[in-house]
Structure 1
Amino acid sequence: MRKIKLFLTFLLLQASLAQFSHAQIFDHDYIENFAKQALESSLISTDDRQISVSISPIDPRVTIKPCFSELSANIPENHNSRNVNVEISCADSTPWSLYIPARVKIMSPVVVALTAIDKGSLLTGDNIGVKFIDEKKIRGEKLTSTVELIGAKSRRNLSSGSAISRRNICVVCKGDSVTIEAHSAALSIRTAGVAMMNGYVGDKIKVKNERSGKLVNARISGLNSVKINL
């Protein structure tokens, strides 16, 4: 009888070992990479934004149990925030879950000063450029192209690396000579004028017509150029 009990115990032990041999065993590095890849796949990088994901290391004291099932990763719906907890889970008969803290950085292209720029200085291809900046650090409206900015002037001192916004530049500056283009259905006139206000492309400013001396409201259409409708 004792031999039968020992034999049955041996068979149960073998069955248990056979079952355990099919379980997947994961180390900390694997779980961290699994969480990072899952989070990156939920965030899509495009031409107008770049995604950076960093994972917090798992506490060395944490023991990760084997899993007979495929691991799954659950990403919270509101995953565009700076901090995200990725849930890694095993759906065995005795399930387990592990939360991996992650940090998400979403960067967008922004026009920045490549060098220090003094107030009143012209913006050129040498002193401005486009760089990707963490969206959390962008304040107000961002400019993403230098095309309309070359030749504009800085309205204040700009430090190297600082983002350039509409508020600190003028495509047409007060006192600048401008070309006034007046259009109607049948007529188009060009004349000289002087800007009485600072502005950016699309802004409406007052301009003095040098020929007539009258003030007119005009919309900035480009560098030192404004338009009015007749």
Structure 2
Amino acid sequence: MSLFNKNHHKLIFFIFLVLFSNNTSAVGYSKSQLQQLAINYLAQNLKELTNGTRELSALPIDPRISDKNCETELLINSVNVQRSNRQSTIQIKCLDEKKWNLYVQVKIMELAPIVVVNQNLSKGEIITNEHLITKQTQKHLIRTQYLNKAQMYTLLGSRSKRNIRSGSAITYKQVCMVCKGDRVTIFASYRGLSIKTAGIALQDGIIGQNISVKNSKSGKKLHARVIGVDQVKVSI
């Protein structure tokens, strides 16, 4: 083999190395992949919740925007443009020769459980475990009077003061363990002795609440704590 042929083969080999060793193949990203990248970024950068759960979802990307390719690592950051604390704008950048950037809107939904009834309740109906469930609800829709899972047990044995539709959040204003006008048993204890007498409730109340009652025998008005269905206790 001539010297020319040897050098010729070496030159071809050198060109091959230059062309293919420096070529970085572009990575393709579909719109759904870009949306997921934005969601993942935001999930990693939001503060952890002390209670409840959080759901993130990306809003649709303009259908006129095509899928993207990039030869370098994507840069992702949060933009200060926020319509509210329930939505964030995430910027995705590619810095290769065909530079591009894309904005993805991510919806932030924070949820917490509230107590709801899972069947229609009629006025005066006694509430049991079978009537109640918890439902994940957006935090900004939760009113202060709504009850959480830890408070569910306080409703058991109470009565509905009105008709309540299935799926509705239930509040203390809608129920009473002792209802105004009910005949109640008044308990008292004194020096180890237990006393009970009949009375009439002058106010609605649930377990733990203090209400006014009237002793049926003496007609005396008393302040008593609700301890159960149609049961109150007075301190002597």
Partner residue, 1:50: 53
State the 1:207 CA deviation: 0.9
TM-score, normalising length from structure 1?
0.74
Partner residue, 1:147: 153
Alignment pair present for 1:135 and 2:135: no
The count of aligned residue pairs is 216
Task: Name the SS for the 2:102 alignment partner.
Answer: strand
Of 36, 53, 71, 2:39 maps to: 36
Q: Deviations over 1:149-177 (max 9, x none)?
A: 12111111111100001111112211233
Is this contact kept in 2: 1:43–1:51, CA < 8 A? Answer: no
Partner amino acid, structure 2, of 1:129:
I
Partner amino acid, structure 2, of 1:107:
L
Partner residue, 1:203: 209
Unmatched segments (≥5 aa) in structure 1: 1-10
C-alpha change, 1:200 and 1:175, in structure 2 (3 Å) is same
**Please, which moves more after superposition, 67-76 or 119-128?**
67-76
Q: Distance in 1 between matches of 2:96 and 2:22?
A: 13
Is this contact kept in 1: 2:70–2:96, CA < 8 A? Answer: no
Is this contact kept in 2: 1:181–1:188, CA < 8 A? Answer: no
Partner residue, 1:105: 109
Partner amino acid, structure 2, of 1:82:
R
Of 59, 64, 68, 1:61 maps to: 64
Partner amino acid, structure 2, of 1:31:
L
Unmatched segments (≥5 aa) in structure 2: 1-14
Task: Name the SS for the 2:154 alignment partner.
Answer: coil
Q: Deviations over 1:40-81 (max 9, x none)?
A: 3436477x5232222112223325352523533427698983
**Please, which moves more after superposition, 141-150 or 202-211?**
202-211
Q: Distance in 2 between matches of 1:136 and 1:168?
A: 22
Task: Name the SS for the 1:40 alignment partner.
Answer: helix
Partner amino acid, structure 2, of 1:86:
I
**Please, which moves more after superposition, 107-116 or 96-105?**
96-105
More strand by percentage: 2
Partner amino acid, structure 1, of 2:179:
C
State the 1:204 CA deviation: 2.8
Q: Deviations over 1:98-117 (max 9, x none)?
A: 32112222221111111111
Alignment pair present for 1:21 and 2:24: yes
Of 191, 195, 201, 2:196 maps to: 191
Partner residue, 2:5: none
Q: Distance in 2 between matches of 1:176 and 1:197?
A: 9
- Percent identity over paired residues: 30
Is this contact kept in 2: 1:22–1:68, CA < 8 A? Answer: no
Q: Distance in 1 between matches of 2:179 and 2:115?
A: 20
TM-score, normalising length from structure 2?
0.73
